[in-house]
Each structure stands twice: as structure tokens, then as C-alpha cells.
């Protein structure tokens, strides 16, 4: 007879806890989490080279996305990988979207727009599903879920020793982009997520101080 798997004790090593499906946290490990979060940085696709994530790492990235907080369990995101053999099609959309916006764009500008599709080893479109699948959950909340899913992936890539970045721009709003990715009603292209090996790192930016964005709800005037 199969014995049930024993649950790990709270101080068990995180990988064992991940296999068991729960973890109570561990003050010893919070330093690692803080380091992972505070040292992640946007690595421009120009600085992302081969090798990209392995099959196993790619699966870890998507499982990280799947663990994002998700009110109503709508899974209001999806990702569309652009393989190397389709990069030329994306390049064409970048180029034509530029010409649509600026018919006077120079050949150099058009070439530079085109070139953006060919950079990172792994490039995928982040799509938000904001349409009325479940009207109870506002689009704003769904966007938070999408952001959390993306951040989980960025952190996972960083933890894997890879670099990552988000890229967007005016081409995101082009109908050509919607057509290439076959976006449905209620879906919005958010940005591209790029992953690869870091060729060159820039210096870490200064993060804002908590005092600049945290406040305490004041006592109501008249309250003693
Ligand atoms: C939705 C989204 C779109 C972004 N698009 C771009 C972009 O087009 N170009 C760019 O250089 N950075 C882009 N970024 C990355 C930010 O510029 C970057 O996160 C910011 O400079 C902070 O740097 P850090 O991530 O290294 O802390 C984007 C970030 C988000 C959240």
C-alpha cells in the first residue's frame, strides 16, 4: 500500500517543501529571497545572448507564472513565444508599425525597428485578458495578476542565472501586432519578455526608499 508522503517540518529545506507543495517560510532563507529580488535588473535584449533557457528552465518559468496571485482564478494572462523562424514576421510588424506612425521614417530607423525582433534567445509576447470573462473581477485587478505572473518569471530567470527584460513601445498598439498574434476581443498585448544569457551587465539602479512610497492612514481628526 502506498504510504502518504510525510509533510516537511517548517525548517525543512525549501526544495523539499516545494516538492511537498507547501512551505511555512524560514528566516534563514529570507536573505536569499531579498537578494534575488533586489539584484534582479532589466537586462536589455541587446545584452542577452545564447544560450537561452533550456526546456526544463522554460517550464520552470511558466510554472512560476502559474503561481501568481489570481483573483477569481481567471488566469488573465497568456504568453506567445516567437521562435527564431518567426522573428522575421515580427520584424516586419515593427518596421511597418513605424512607417504607419511616421511615413517619413528613414531606412536606418526602419532597419533599427526591424532588428529589435532578432535580439534575445527567448522572446515572448505577454498578453493580458481583460475582457468580460468574469465581470466581477475588474480589469485593474487582472492587470495586477498579469504583472505578478511576469515578475515571477523575471525572478525565476534571475534565479536560474539568466538575464531578462521587458520591452514595449508604440508598436504594441498597432493593429498589425494584434493580427500577427491573433489576439481576440478583450485581449491586450502588454509587452515582450526577453530571456537569455547576460553578455554585459549595467550597474544596478538605486531603488526608491520605502519612506517615499509608504504612509500610515492618519487618525481621523477629532478622534482622541
Ligand atoms: C510593462 C513594461 C514595459 C517595459 N518596456 C520597456 C521598454 O520598452 N524599454 C526599456 O528599456 N525598458 C522597458 N521596461 C523596463 C523598465 O525600463 C525597467 O524595469 C526599469 O527601468 C527599472 O529597471 P530595473 O527593472 O532594472 O529595476 C518595461 C517595464 C515594464 C513593466
Within-domain flag for 98: yes
Number of other residues whose CB lies within 10 A of the CB of residue 184 = 10
Number of other residues whose CB lies within 10 A of the CB of residue 170 = 12
Query: How many residues are present in the chain?
Result: 224
Within-domain flag for 154: yes
Q: Is the pLDDT of residue 56 over 50?
A: yes
As to burial, measured by CB atoms within 10 angstroms (0-12 exposed, 13-18 middle, 19+ buried), residue 147 is middle
As to burial, measured by CB atoms within 10 angstroms (0-12 exposed, 13-18 middle, 19+ buried), residue 12 is middle
> Alpha-carbon distance 23 to 148, whole Å?
20
Q: Whose CA is nearest to atom 12 of ligand 1?
A: 167
Mean pLDDT lowest among 19-23, 35-39, 120-124, 168-172: 19-23
Within-domain flag for 206: no
> Alpha-carbon distance 91 to 110, whole Å?
10
- Choose one of 40, 42, 153, 204 to mutate for the ligand 1 pocket test, by most ligand atoms within 8 angstroms of C-beta: 42
Does 160 or 30 have the greater pLDDT score? 160
Within-domain flag for 6: no
pLDDT band at 96 (very low <50, low <70, confident <90, very high): very high
Q: What percent of the chain has pLDDT over 70?
A: 92
- What's the pLDDT at 7? 45
Q: Is the pLDDT of residue 8 over 70?
A: no
131 CB within 6 A, ligand 1:
no
The beta-strand segments (E) located in the chain are 48-49, 77-81, 122-129, 163-167, 187-198
Within-domain flag for 142: yes
Mean pLDDT on 197-203: 95
Q: Which domain holds residue 61?
A: 44-199
CATH code, domain with 110: 3.40.109.10
Q: Whose CA is nearest to atom 9 of ligand 1?
A: 167
Within-domain flag for 144: yes
Q: Is the pLDDT of residue 95 over 80?
A: yes
Residue 188 CB contacts under 8 Å (≥ 6 apart), including other chains = 127, 128, 130
- What's the pLDDT at 222? 64
- What's the pLDDT at 220? 86
Within-domain flag for 111: yes
**How many angstroms separate the Cα of 170 from the Cα of each of 1, 42, 94?**
60, 19, 9
Cell reading at 101: 506612425
Within-domain flag for 28: no
pLDDT band at 154 (very low <50, low <70, confident <90, very high): very high
The total number of structural domains that make up the chain: 1
Does 62 or 134 have the greater pLDDT score? 62
Amino acid at each position: 500500500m502506498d504510504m502518504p508522503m510525510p509533510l516537511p517540518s517548517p525548517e525543512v529545506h525549501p526544495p523539499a517543501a516545494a516538492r511537498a507543495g507547501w512551505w511555512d517560510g524560514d528566516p534563514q532563507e529570507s536573505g536569499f529571497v531579498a537578494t534575488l529580488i533586489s539584484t534582479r535588473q532589466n537586462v536589455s535584449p541587446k545584452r542577452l545572448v545564447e544560450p537561452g533557457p533550456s526546456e526544463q528552465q522554460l517550464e520552470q518559468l511558466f510554472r512560476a507564472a502559474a503561481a501568481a496571485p489570481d483573483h477569481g482564478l481567471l488566469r488573465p494572462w497568456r504568453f506567445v513565444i516567437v521562435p527564431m523562424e518567426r522573428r522575421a514576421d515580427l520584424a516586419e510588424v515593427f518596421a511597418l508599425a513605424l512607417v504607419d506612425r511616421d511615413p517619413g521614417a528613414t531606412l536606418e530607423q526602419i532597419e533599427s525597428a526591424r532588428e529589435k525582433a532578432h535580439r534575445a534567445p527567448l522572446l515572448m509576447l505577454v498578453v493580458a485578458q481583460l475582457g468580460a470573462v468574469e465581470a466581477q473581477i475588474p480589469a485593474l485587478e487582472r492587470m495586477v495578476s498579469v504583472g505578478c505572473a511576469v515578475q515571477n518569471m523575471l525572478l525565476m530567470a534571475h534565479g536560474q542565472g539568466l538575464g531578462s527584460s521587458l520591452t514595449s513601445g508604440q508598436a504594441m498598439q498597432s493593429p498589425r501586432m494584434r493580427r500577427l498574434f491573433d489576439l481576440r476581443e478583450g485581449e491586450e498585448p502588454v509587452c515582450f519578455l526577453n530571456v537569455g544569457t547576460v553578455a554585459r551587465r549595467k550597474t544596478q539602479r538605486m531603488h526608491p526608499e520605502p519612506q517615499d512610497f509608504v504612509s500610515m492612514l492618519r487618525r481621523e481628526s477629532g478622534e482622541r
